[in-house]
C-alpha cells in the first residue's frame, strides 16, 4: 500500500505531502482546492498520462507570467511485505516531455511501476462513458486490461506509434510524394503484429471481466453484458485465439485501406476502431441510453469486478475515485463504501462535501484539502 506521497512543483502545489490510510482516504474541500491534483499524482505512479491524460509539460507548477511549467516530481513510499519501496517520477527540465522513473533511487522503465502498484480510476468524465466518444471508452477499457496484463500497454503503444508513421507516409503521398511501398509493408507488418496482440488481450480481458461481473450477483450496482465491436471482432477472429489468422487479416486490411486512408487523412481500419458496448441487464437497454447515475453505477461495477480480480491474482490495486459520490443516491454511496472496505482495497475518494461520506466516519481517514496542502482532520 501507499504510505505517503510527496508532490514537488506539481500542478498547484509547490510542496505537499499526503499520508494515506491502509483502507479508505477521503479528500474533501471546495472546488479548485486541489483534490483532483492529488489523485492525478497517484495515477502517475503507473505508465501513461494519468487520469487527466495530460502531457508531462502540463503538470509542472507555473507562477503568473511563467510560460512553461517548472520541473516537477511525485514520489511515494510503499509498504510491502517486510519491505519498504520508494517510487518516484517527474521531469528534470522545464517543459520537458521526457518523464523519468526511479525505484529505490535507481532509474527504471515505466512498466516496472506496475510490479508494485496498479492504480485504477474513475473521474466525472466517466459518468457518461457509454454515451460519450468511442475513443474514450476504448482508452478506459485498455486501462482495465493492462492493470491485469502489463504487456498490453506495450502492444497498444507499439501499434499507435506504427499507425501514426503509416498515416504520415500515406498523407505525404497524397500531397504528391509517393509513399515508399516497402516502408509501408514494414509498418503494416508491425501494425498487424502489435494489433493482433492488443485484440487478443482485449478479448481475454473481456471474458474475465464479464465473468467477474456475473460472479458479483445481485448487488446495488447494475450488471452489464459487455461486448467489443470492431473489424476483427465482427469477423469472429478476436475470441478464437488464432494469432496467425488475425495477423493475416489485419495485414491484408491495412494494405487494402491505403488509398482510402490517404484520401480521408485518417486510419479507417484497425484495432484502434474497436468499441466497448454494454447492455443494462435489468432494463435490457443499451447503457448509452441510461442516466448519468446509471452509467456511473455500471462503470463502478466494471471497476469493482476488475479490482476484485486483481486482488485474487495478488496484484496491488489502488482505487481512485474523483467526485466519488456524484450522481449516486444515498443507498449506492453507502454500498460503494461497503464494497471497497469488503474488498480490502486501498482507495482514495474525493468530494466537495464531507457529508457525502458520512457513513465512513470512524472507518476512513478524512483529509481536508486546500491550496496550501493536505491536512488530516
pLDDT digits (tens, 9 = 90+) for 46-79: 998 999 999 998 999 988 878 788 899 999 999 9
Nearest CA-CA partner of 53 in 159, 143, 114: 143
- Beta-strand (E) ranges in 53-195? 73-80, 83-90, 100-103, 106-107, 118-122
Provide the pLDDT confidence category of residue 175 given band limits of 50, 70 and 90: low
pLDDT in tens, 66-125: 878 889 999 999 998 778 999 999 998 776 778 999 999 999 999 899 889 999 999 999
Q: Is the pLDDT of residue 299 over 80?
A: yes
Length of the chain: 377
- Beta-strand (E) ranges in the chain? 2-10, 13-19, 24-28, 73-80, 83-90, 100-103, 106-107, 118-122, 224-229, 275-280, 285-286, 317-321, 346-351, 365-370, 373-376
Helices (H), 175-279: 181-216, 231-234, 243-256, 258-264
Q: Is the pLDDT of residue 35 over 80?
A: yes
Provide the pLDDT confidence category of residue 172 given band limits of 50, 70 and 90: confident
Most distant pair of Cα atoms in the chain: their distance: 69
Q: Is the pLDDT of residue 18 over 80?
A: yes
Q: Is the pLDDT of residue 301 over 70?
A: yes
Nearest CA-CA partner of 170 in 269, 80, 75: 269
Of the listed ranges 125-129, 214-218, 320-324, the least confidently predicted one is: 214-218
With cell 486501498, the residue in question is: 346
- Give the side-chain half-sphere CA count within 13 A for 146: 23
With cell 477472429, the residue in question is: 237
Amino acid at each position: 500500500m501507499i504510505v505517503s506521497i510527496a508532490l514537488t512543483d506539481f500542478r498547484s502545489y509547490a510542496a505537499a505531502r499526503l499520508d494515506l490510510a491502509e483502507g479508505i482516504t477521503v479528500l474533501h474541500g471546495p472546488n479548485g482546492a486541489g483534490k483532483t491534483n492529488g489523485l492525478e499524482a497517484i495515477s502517475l505512479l503507473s505508465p501513461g498520462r494519468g487520469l487527466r491524460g495530460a502531457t508531462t509539460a502540463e503538470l509542472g507548477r507555473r507562477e503568473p507570467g511563467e510560460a512553461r511549467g517548472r520541473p516537477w516530481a511525485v514520489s511515494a513510499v510503499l509498504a510491502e511485505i517486510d519491505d519498504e519501496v520508494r517510487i518516484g517520477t517527474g521531469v528534470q527540465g522545464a517543459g520537458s516531455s521526457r518523464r523519468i522513473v526511479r525505484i529505490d533511487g535507481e532509474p527504471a522503465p515505466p512498466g516496472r511501476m506496475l510490479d508494485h502498484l496498479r492504480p485504477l480510476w474513475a473521474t466525472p468524465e466517466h459518468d457518461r462513458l457509454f454515451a460519450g466518444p468511442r475513443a474514450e471508452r476504448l482508452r478506459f477499457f485498455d486501462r482495465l486490461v493492462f492493470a491485469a496484463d502489463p504487456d498490453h500497454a506495450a502492444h497498444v503503444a507499439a501499434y499507435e506509434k506504427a499507425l501514426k508513421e503509416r498515416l504520415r507516409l500515406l498523407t505525404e503521398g497524397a500531397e504528391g510524394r509517393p509513399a515508399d511501398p516497402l516502408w509501408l509493408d514494414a509498418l503494416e507488418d508491425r501494425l498487424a503484429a502489435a494489433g493482433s496482440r492488443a485484440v487478443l488481450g482485449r478479448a481475454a480481458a473481456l471474458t474475465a471481466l464479464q465473468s467477474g461481473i456475473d460472479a458479483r450477483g445481485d448487488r446495488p450496482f447494475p450488471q452489464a453484458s459487455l461486448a467489443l465491436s470492431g473489424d476483427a471482432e465482427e469477423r469472429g477472429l478476436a475470441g478464437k485465439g488464432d494469432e496467425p489468422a488475425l495477423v493475416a487479416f489485419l495485414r491484408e486490411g491495412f494494405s487494402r485501406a491505403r488509398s482510402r486512408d490517404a484520401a480521408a487523412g485518417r486510419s479507417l481500419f484497425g484495432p484502434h476502431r474497436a468499441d466497448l458496448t454494454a447492455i443494462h441487464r435489468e432494463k435490457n437497454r443499451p447503457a448509452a441510453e441510461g442516466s448519468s447515475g446509471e452509467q456511473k453505477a455500471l462503470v463502478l461495477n466494471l471497476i469493482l469486478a476488475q479490482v476484485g480480480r486483481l486482488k485474487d491474482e495478488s496484484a496491488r490495486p489502488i482505487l481512485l475515485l474523483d467526485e466519488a459520490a456524484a450522481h449516486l443516491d444515498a443507498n449506492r454511496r453507502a454500498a460503494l463504501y461497503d464494497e471497497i472496505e469488503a474488498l480490502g482495497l486501498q482507495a482514495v475518494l474525493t468530494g466537495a462535501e464531507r457529508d457525502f461520506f458520512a457513513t465512513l466516519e470512524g472507518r476512513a481517514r478524512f483529509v481536508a484539502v486546500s491550496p496550501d496542502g493536505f491536512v488530516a482532520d
